[in-house]
């Protein structure tokens, strides 16, 4: 039995607790400082999760962050980061207060950051935060792949990839979280896996828009029936751009064809918040209008990433190499209608 602490009680952090618990580990699900209400609801309903609308295993210990005491912080085998990308600075500061070099850190969070005008993966960002606090040897890995939280919490057969430059590190993590429904593969391409896992959120918006983008002249009924031609074309072009982007940011091209790239793009495009926003953009809505009208209080990760990296991409990249990426970024950052040059 290993001791696993998951910080972040949102959809994915909470769903991830299920295979951890099913593997006979001691599992603590700790809410961030913003999640006291959710933690209270889970505790008061016998581990029923209000966001996932599903029951978490009874042996998972659910805590507010204020209850995350020194006894629990000792002898952790796996520390899982499930906060939003905006919370990386906060969690890095908190981890630095108790981290020991023997502890593996696993990032569920997806995203890219700009630090001093340079692209950084979230693993690099977290590592740099910890180095600023005097921790030079943090073991940080990432998980990615086609695994939606609602499927995972219901134990739907799923596959993910665990990434670390030292592949033995993630093989060890996989040995304590893999189950007969949660399959783990391994990669030493931490950068490529993180780049694909983040940018697929942008490209899934585009594929979500494929019905509206399928024709400028046909009526909506025909487009609704036959838009899959367009969706497949956009998916192919999206993977090609992800491959080029991964190479440009010093990852391995093959990650774009793996679980973190093509696999995650497929499931995110088939359903999810990014795809939903894409649908509205494809229908001709401007981003700000669609966000306010249809998704006001819902996080759209692809849009957040577009705002984060968009200005640098538009300034320094070649549009002819990344036409789809440019289209989405212009749509989001400049509040323009989404258009694709076929």
- The residues, any chain, with a CB within 8 Å of residue 102's CB and separated by 6 or more, are none
CA distances to 182, 219, 223 from 214, in Å:
36, 10, 6
The total number of residues shown for the chain amounts to 342
d(CA 41, CA 50): 7
d(CA 10, CA 16): 10
**pLDDT higher than 90, residue 177:** yes
Contact 307, 299 (CB under 8 A): no
d(CA 322, CA 211): 21
Residue 249: give the domain boundaries. 192-333
d(CA 140, CA 163): 9
pLDDT, residue 217, reads 86
> Mean pLDDT for the chain?
96
d(CA 56, CA 267): 23
38 and 159 belong to one structural domain: yes
199 and 312 belong to one structural domain: yes
d(CA 291, CA 311): 20
342 DSSP assignment: -
**pTM higher than 0.85, yes or no?**
yes
Sign of CA dihedral 179, 183, 188, 193: negative
pLDDT-derived band at 116 (thresholds 50, 70, 90) equals confident
- Of 23, 179, 10, 21, the residue nearest 108 (C-alpha): 10
- Of 194, 46, 192, 49, the residue nearest 113 (C-alpha): 194
pLDDT, residue 91, reads 97
pLDDT, residue 2, reads 97
pLDDT, residue 299, reads 86
Task: Count the neighbouring beta carbons within 10 Å of the beta carbon of residue 189.
Answer: 23
* Total number of domains in the chain: 2
301, part of any domain: yes
End position of a domain, from candidates 166, 188, 210: 188
d(CA 95, CA 8): 13
184 and 216 belong to one structural domain: no
End position of a domain, from candidates 188, 217, 238: 188
Between helix 190-208 and helix 273-282 the angle, nearest 10°, is: 40
pLDDT digits (tens, 9 = 90+) for 144-163: 999 999 999 999 999 999 99
226, part of any domain: yes
pLDDT digits (tens, 9 = 90+) for 31-74: 999 999 999 999 999 999 999 999 999 999 999 999 999 999 99
Residue 109 maps to which CATH number?
3.40.50.720
326, part of any domain: yes
133 and 34 belong to one structural domain: yes
173 and 208 belong to one structural domain: no
Rg (CA), the chain: 20
End position of a domain, from candidates 188, 211, 245: 188
**pLDDT higher than 90, residue 304:** yes
Residue ranges of the alpha helices (H) in the chain? 11-22, 36-44, 70-73, 88-96, 122-132, 149-153, 167-177, 190-208, 210-213, 220-226, 228-248, 264-270, 273-282, 287-294, 301-316, 323-333
144 and 215 belong to one structural domain: no
Alpha carbon distance, N-terminus to C-terminus of the chain: 55
148 and 21 belong to one structural domain: yes
167 and 250 belong to one structural domain: no
d(CA 196, CA 256): 6
pLDDT digits (tens, 9 = 90+) for 82-113: 999 989 999 999 999 999 988 999 999 999 99
């Amino acid at each position: 039995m290993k001791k696993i602490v998951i910080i972040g009680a949102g959809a994915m952090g909470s769903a991830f607790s299920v295979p951890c618990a099913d593997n006979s580990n001691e599992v603590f699900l700790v809410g961030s400082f913003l999640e006291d209400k959710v933690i209270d609801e889970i505790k008061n309903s016998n581990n029923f999760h209000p966001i996932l609308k599903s029951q978490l295993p009874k042996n998972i210990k659910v805590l507010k962050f204020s209850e995350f005491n020194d006894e629990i912080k000792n002898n952790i085998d796996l520390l899982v980061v499930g906060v939003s990308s905006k919370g990386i600075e906060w969690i890095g500061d908190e981890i630095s207060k108790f981290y020991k070099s023997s502890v593996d850190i696993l990032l569920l969070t997806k995203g890219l950051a700009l630090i001093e005008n340079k692209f950084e993966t979230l693993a690099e960002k977290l590592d740099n935060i910890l180095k600023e606090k005097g921790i030079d040897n943090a073991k940080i890995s990432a998980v990615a792949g086609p695994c939606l939280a609602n499927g995972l919490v219901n134990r739907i057969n799923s596959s993910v990839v665990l990434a670390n430059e030292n592949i033995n590190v993630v093989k060890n993590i996989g040995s304590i979280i893999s189950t007969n429904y949660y399959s783990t593969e391994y990669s030493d391409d931490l950068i490529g896996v993180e780049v694909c896992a983040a940018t697929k959120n942008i490209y899934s918006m585009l594929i979500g828009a494929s019905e509206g983008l399928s024709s400028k002249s046909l009526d909506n009924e025909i487009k609704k029936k036959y838009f899959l031609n367009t969706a497949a074309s956009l998916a192919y072009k999206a993977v090609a751009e992800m491959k080029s982007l991964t190479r440009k940011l010093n990852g391995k091209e093959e990650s774009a064809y793996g679980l973190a790239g093509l696999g995650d793009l497929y499931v995110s495009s088939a359903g999810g918040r990014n795809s939903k926003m894409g649908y509205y953009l494809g229908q001709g809505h401007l981003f700000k209008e669609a966000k306010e009208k249809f998704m006001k209080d819902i996080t759209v990760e692809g849009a957040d990433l577009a705002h984060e990296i968009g200005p640098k991409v538009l300034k320094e990249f070649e549009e002819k190499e990344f036409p789809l990426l440019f289209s989405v970024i212009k749509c989001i950052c400049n509040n323009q209608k989404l258009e694709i040059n076929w």
